[in-house]
Amino acid sequence: MDMADRVVAVTGGASGIGKATVFLLAREGARVIIGDVTEDAGHAVAKDAAGQGLRVEFLKLDLTQAASVEEFAAGANAAAGGRLDGLVNAAGWDRIQPFMENDPAIWERLININLLGAVRLCRGVLPPMIAAGKGKIVNISSDAGRVGSMGETVYSAAKGGIIAFTKSLAREMARSRINVNCVCPGPTDTPLLQAQPERMREALTRAIPFRRVAQPQEIAEAVMFFLGPRTDYVTGQVLSVSGGLTMVD
Ligand SMILES: NC(=O)c1ccc[n+]([C@@H]2O[C@H](COP(=O)([O-])OP(=O)(O)OC[C@H]3O[C@@H](n4cnc5c(N)ncnc54)[C@H](O)[C@@H]3O)[C@@H](O)[C@H]2O)c1
């Protein structure tokens, strides 16, 4: 098992892509710490996993609150015995609406959850990784952050920010042998996508060369690829998992 005895924190692990990642990592032998703002769902995932003999714990995390991010980072490091082996920044939030109709409060929420939350959490978990000279971080961005997306203008800005953050952090952390990589899902069958109008989901499906949206497990496989030992020499990279929707150099 690729992840035997590794301890990995997964934000957004209560739902969708994060949840699929939690189960895949745990089945590969990892101990997983979920951080999520949705407490009931987070505890339910941990309980479901325990029922399957998997090691999954839940800690409350609100990425919009700096103090909560600091507390989660300290709690996750402590639960891992001082240092996490990996961090997956999978939590995200979106509101599809034309830019000119956006209330500026939405911009702040989009940036806080999708960009600053991950930035703050990386800052919190990195010190013991740097001291040990090892660790792996995987950030979930979006194809919207690579090529833009109608009605997701500030979300795309935050996701593009995560890509640039990944690359620059990878450069700074290379001397400490810490890998930082990024996965960009295309439309994926999760509650986030299911909340969008059917008309929009159909149009997205038609635009995808594979003519279907992704299943969350398919995104989790790419996260697993970056966390596991097969990519020890890969850092600062961006991988789209989107059925060919985008093909960026
Ligand atoms: N589903 C898609 O089509 C799609 C496409 C591209 C990128 N993504 C990205 O993939 C990631 C996972 O999305 P998903 O589709 O699984 O969504 P989801 O809504 O199913 O899950 C997102 C999780 O993030 C958590 N979260 C939201 N706000 C939070 C906060 N303030 N603090 C802590 N946790 C918070 C939610 O509670 C939820 O459990 C996100 O970063 C999203 O932007 C999704």
Q: What is the pLDDT of residue 84?
A: 98
For residues 163 and 187, what is the distance between their CA atoms, to the nearest angstrom? 18
Instruction: Report how far ligand 1's centroid is from the alpha carbon of 174 (Å).
Output: 28
Structure tokens at 234: 């890969």
Beta-carbon neighbour count of residue 206 at 10 Å?
8
From the CA of 103, how far away is ligand 1's center (Å)?
Answer: 21
Taken in order of first residue, the domains within the chain and their CATH numbers are 7-238 (3.40.50.720)
Which residue's C-alpha comes closest to atom 43 of ligand 1? 92
| Helix, strand, coil percentages for the chain (3-state, nearest 5) | 50, 15, 35
Contact by Cβ (8 Å): 89, 118 = yes
The per-residue pLDDT for 148 is: 97
- Verify whether residue 233 is a known catalytic residue: no
**Separation of CA 138 and ligand 1 centre (Å):** 14
Among 68, 109, 190, which residue has the most ligand 1 atoms within 8 Å of its CB, making it the best to mutate? 190
Residue with tokens 């409060």: 105
Kindly name the residue from 72, 93, 155, 226 that is annotated as catalytic: 155
- 159 CA: nearest ligand 1 atom: 43
Q: Which residues contact 44 (CB under 8 A, 6 or more apart)?
A: 14
Looking from the CA of residue 189, the nearest atom of ligand 1 is 1
Q: Scanning the structure block, which residue is given the tokens 């789209």? A: 240
Question: Residue 196 — pLDDT band, cuts 50, 70, 90?
Answer: confident
- In tens, the pLDDT along 109-118 reads 999 999 999 9
Supply the pLDDT for residue 1. 77
Q: Which atom of ligand 1 is nearest to the CA of 38?
A: 37
Query: For the segment 111-170, what is each residue's pLDDT rounded down to a tens digit?
Result: 999 999 999 999 999 999 999 999 999 999 999 999 999 999 999 999 999 999 999 999
Write the pLDDT tens digit of every residue in 197-245: 899 899 999 999 999 999 999 999 999 999 999 999 999 999 999 999 9
Of 122, 111, 14, which Cα lies nearest the Cα of 64?
Answer: 111
The pTM of the full predicted model, rounded to 2 decimals, is: 0.98
Distance 167 CA to ligand 1 centre (A): 21
Question: pLDDT by residue (tens digit) across 58-78?
Answer: 999 999 999 999 999 999 999
Looking only at the bridges linking them, the beta strands covering 86-89 and 31-36 are unpaired
| 95 Cα to the center of ligand 1, angstroms | 11
Predicted local confidence at residue 5, as pLDDT:
87
14 lines ligand 1 (CB under 6 A): yes
> Distance from CA of residue 235 to its chain's centroid?
16
| Distance separating alpha carbons of residues 149 and 136, to the nearest angstrom | 29
List residues bridging with 10 in a β-sheet: 34, 88
Backbone angles phi, psi at 147, to 5 degrees: -125, 0
State mean pLDDT over 184-198. 93
Residue 140 Cβ inside 6 Å of ligand 1? The answer reads yes
* CA torsion, ordered 175, 226, 39, 95, to nearest 10 deg: 100
pLDDT at 249: 85
